Amino acid sequence: MPEEAKSVVSWYDYALRYLAMKWPHAAPNTRDGINESLTSVTMELLGERPGRPSDEVIRKALRNWAFVLPGSDDREVPDDVRNVLHWVSKASRPLADLAEPATAHAVLDSLKLKLDGTAAAAETVRRKRRTLVNAANYAVDLGELRENPITTVRRQKPKVSNQVDPRLSPTRNRRGISWRPSPTWADTGVPVVVASSVCSPRCTSAVSGRRKRSVSSRRT
């Protein structure tokens, strides 16, 4: 049986189709989120091709001209922007490359950054990932992908250290005071001082002396 042919549609061309489907029914804030998400993925899925413009120039062309409607084909676009978008259309990798685990991981990692290269907030990352998942689902519906490759990628959970913080170990000073973490230690980092249940010898002697004097005074 012949092997199923790999889709040759590029990610960029497909992203424009997805945008045309989502844009008319999306609220303004949702449109901006779709625009940002598609721009991030498109930047990650650019292959090597001579004459590459700077990343900043590509991002501006995608944000301001490509991933908005009416699109660049339906309005007057500056020649320099049109040249950039033409380069993107030729350099964009195939949509089917998302099925490669390494590529899918790289794309998901790119969503953790804002377009200026700084770390994105957790909610922003989740929103951008939802857009990518929806876009991949639509590709499955259109027959461009056999399954959604994004939902099968394992997301790495934050590592939790089993090492005990030495600050949490009970210690006593010469006055019999111990340090014990409060229930909110992890949140505040501020230790709470509590009286130790075990007094030092000096502490025990002082308490015993006070008790003897108290008994003697009551007898007199």
Asked if the structure places residue 211 within a domain, the reply is yes
Asked if the structure places residue 124 within a domain, the reply is yes
Report residue 29 as tokens. Answer: 């804030």
Tell me which residue range forms the domain holding 199: 166-219
175 and 104 assigned to the same domain: no
23 and 76 assigned to the same domain: yes
pLDDT at 17 over 50: yes
User: 63-117, pLDDT tens digit by residue?
Assistant: 999 999 987 777 889 999 999 999 999 999 999 999 999 999 999 999 999 888 8
Asked if the structure places residue 161 within a domain, the reply is no
128 and 175 assigned to the same domain: no
Asked if the structure places residue 119 within a domain, the reply is yes
Q: How many domains does the chain have?
A: 2
131 and 178 assigned to the same domain: no
134 and 29 assigned to the same domain: yes
**Residue 135, pLDDT score:** 97
17 and 100 assigned to the same domain: yes
Asked if the structure places residue 158 within a domain, the reply is no
Asked if the structure places residue 40 within a domain, the reply is yes
Asked if the structure places residue 156 within a domain, the reply is no
**Residue 213, pLDDT score:** 54
135 and 171 assigned to the same domain: no
**Residue 156, pLDDT score:** 54
- Greater pLDDT, 214 or 20: 20
126 and 215 assigned to the same domain: no
115 and 17 assigned to the same domain: yes
> Of 141, 156, 176, which residue constitutes the final position of a domain?
141
User: 110-169, pLDDT tens digit by residue?
Assistant: 999 988 888 999 999 999 999 999 999 999 999 999 999 999 876 654 343 344 444 444
133 and 175 assigned to the same domain: no
How far, in Å, CA of 165 to CA of 169, rounded?
7
Q: Could you tell me what percent of the chain has a pLDDT over 70?
A: 66
User: 173-195, pLDDT tens digit by residue?
Assistant: 444 444 444 444 344 444 444 44
204 and 108 assigned to the same domain: no
**Residue 166, pLDDT score:** 45
Asked if the structure places residue 47 within a domain, the reply is yes
